[in-house]
Structure 1
Amino acid sequence: MPRRHVVASAVFLLAFIAALPGPGTLRAENFDLTLLPPILAGPPLSRDSDGDGLPDLWELRGYTVNGTYVNLPAMGASPWHKDVFVWMDYMVTPGSVDLGPSQTVIDNIKAVFNNAPVTNPDGTTGIHIHPVLKNQVPYDETLGVSSNYTQVWIDFDTLKNNSFNAAYAPSFRYMIWANTYNQGTSSGLARGIPGTDFLVTLGGWQTPGGTDWQKLGTFIHELGHCLGLTHGGTDHVNYKPNYLSVMNYSFQTWGLYRNGHWGDEGYPLNFDYQRINTPSLDKASLQEGLGLTGADDVSAYGTVYYYVSGGYYYNTYTTNAAAGIDWNKNNIIDPSPVSADINWSGSATGTLTAQNNWPNINYSADGQLGPASGQARRKAALVPMPEELRHELDFETQQRLDTARTPAAPATP
């Protein structure tokens, strides 16, 4: 056989073997050694063609930890398209209320991520998220006790360790659809920014366990923290009118106002992270005639903002962020700059900046997923959680936010 044919055949064979699913991996921490010679082991463990934090080798062939084979390709992984895996456990109340997601919620989560404006080596856009509903865990009325943030995660870990197969930790985030935490009505909690663990806790809301829309928005919000996103985009400042993201409490349970509809009017794709650039807003010098223009096109969007009247804060909204916005709510579009506390911070000064979220997703959670995940998670455990994230959007605040779509009522000054 001519030499060139031998070489071509060998290259084809190597490519074929590398693409075969199977338990072969390279060693990283406690990963089992491949049984194949190194030349047949496929791409190096460091190669991650789509940048999703999971090595190509794992997405082609899976990996093995302590004898457990995690078959990522059988679960839909591809080295040429970004994947996010989430192991979801859930509780059922003594009254038989299933706190977990309906299939509609799961399908809508997938749709939001499939619609993400991110590119992939396969030439398509979007992220393949795999929210895998797994085990019912024992019901707990509340995780932790009032104001004890540490105890929440101690209780969480007890449930996690009894349900979650640790072999999946290098590739999966883990969450629980639980009842409450800290004996309150907070909607959820993430363990870090970025991180790998989070909760959705809507058991104390008017609809126990939350409506499908509240579940959708809260799941995406808390997962967003694990993906490195914050309440303010560039910081933890909340309620920014120029931050058009489900990470903003103003949009967590409604979704964005986009193309004439709120998300919870039947438009799940509006439960979105910010996908455009918006201008900074100087609260001491707001140009009402500009609205949110000055960066990308915002004509498809509305937004929510605050104003003060009679010593009380009110929240309201506009359906056209590209038109003039009456920031100080004096019923005219002022030609001169005005000052207003448009994000309910207690001050009419300061500059509000936002973030185009999708390009800033942290897929590996700073290495907490991937070959060196164990070491990265141990390091992350030493970082204290920001105070702003220890108590998330609660039912009482959500009820107040709802006044923006009904006759206005005052918020607490």
Structure 2
Amino acid sequence: MLEALGDVLSHEGHCVLKATDGDSALRIASKEEIDLVITDLRMPGKDGMTLLKELRQRVGSVEVIIMTAYGTVDSAVEAMRYGAFHYVLKPFRPHMIVRTVRKVAEQKGQLEESDFLDAAMRRRYGLPWFIGRSPQVQKVFEQIRTVARSDATVLITGESGTGKELVAHAIHYLSARRDRPLIKVSCASLPETLLESELFGHERGAFTSAVQRRKGRFELANGGSLFLDEIGDIPPSIQAKLVRVLETREFERVGGTETISVDVRLIAATHKDLAAMVQSGTFREDLYYRINVVPIHLPPLRERPEDIPALALHFIRYYAAKTRKPVRGLERAALEALNRYPWPGNVRELRNYMERAVLFCKGNLVALSDLPECVTGPTCTAPTQGQPQLRSIREVEASLIRNVLEETGWNLSRTAELLGMSRGTLYNKMRRHGIRRPEEDADHRKPSGP
């Protein structure tokens, strides 16, 4: 079978490498750039399912076709769950395998543009936040490619740590405006008085500290793109002025009378539910419809668990190269712990934990002991069959924040860094979960005097 199938595929023009068992296949895959592995389910030593899992762990993006004469529904489901491209029952005719291999090649060709986009992101920003073959990530890639060709306003939504700013960079970088500036504004970090001046600029004497004329971000972005991060935090007075700019691309500096025209492509992002804010009256409906021309939603990592192994592997390789350590993958127990964890901080949190794991790793593979306790602890294990999930994501998040705060001695900056979020986001989550410093909590519980 091995020789016959190899001859057929070689005749089709494919470069074929042969292995007689799973261990040999892993050795070849670790040294050569492999696009596809065709394996029998039953083999000496490692079986095909074990080979599939270890290829996913060590190589990541290679496609796998499993052949078997002992197929069951359970084994087929398990193979697909671990990312097998196809599951072929023996006996089969050679043309069936040839046709399946062609499908793999066609899909590889379709993904070349996604691979280029991923490579461009890595070259420009250093880290591959959007690696993955899940349908959700492929949809995001397709949306980025499509919208980059236009000047349409884009609204990027998603939880903290999902990569909203990276998508904004990718849209600009792949657009016709790539050689013009991409100007970024964090709307959540500026008070109302400063935000207006930051966006539109000001004239000398417009307010006490305005000692000279200053261009705003809209002017600085002229000809390029303006990225408004956390647009849901913009106060109502600024929202009204933003509506006019989006309608006319005209505005006046603070304290000025001259009308300034700009050619700017707007990209906005938020983790908030703007539609609900419109209903509650805290976000202008006309502004919402003007920025929501092309919505792109970034899924949380817990909704695309099939991408966790590839992401973790890329981060491990990145930090291993950066620290010059021989770490090349994860042990199975460590990978299983990553798959169970709910990732409230999303890809940013995974990146931070993989950096830490590489630093602590003493061998070639990241072990369970190299991961933080919040990932490996009992609150992160899956419930046994038949038991209900005892803790909600909200409860797990609160527990995680408390654990990391205690681990860092309540150092908020360090805690925010480990959790992959800003200090402001951490403070808001602490307030939402009612988390206080031990001394503050003690003061809060003291009975009031007579």
TM-score greater than 0.5 by the shorter chain: no
With the length of structure 2 as denominator, give the TM-score of the two structures.
Answer: 0.25
With the length of structure 1 as denominator, give the TM-score of the two structures.
Answer: 0.27
Report the structure number with the largest CA radius of gyration.
Answer: 2
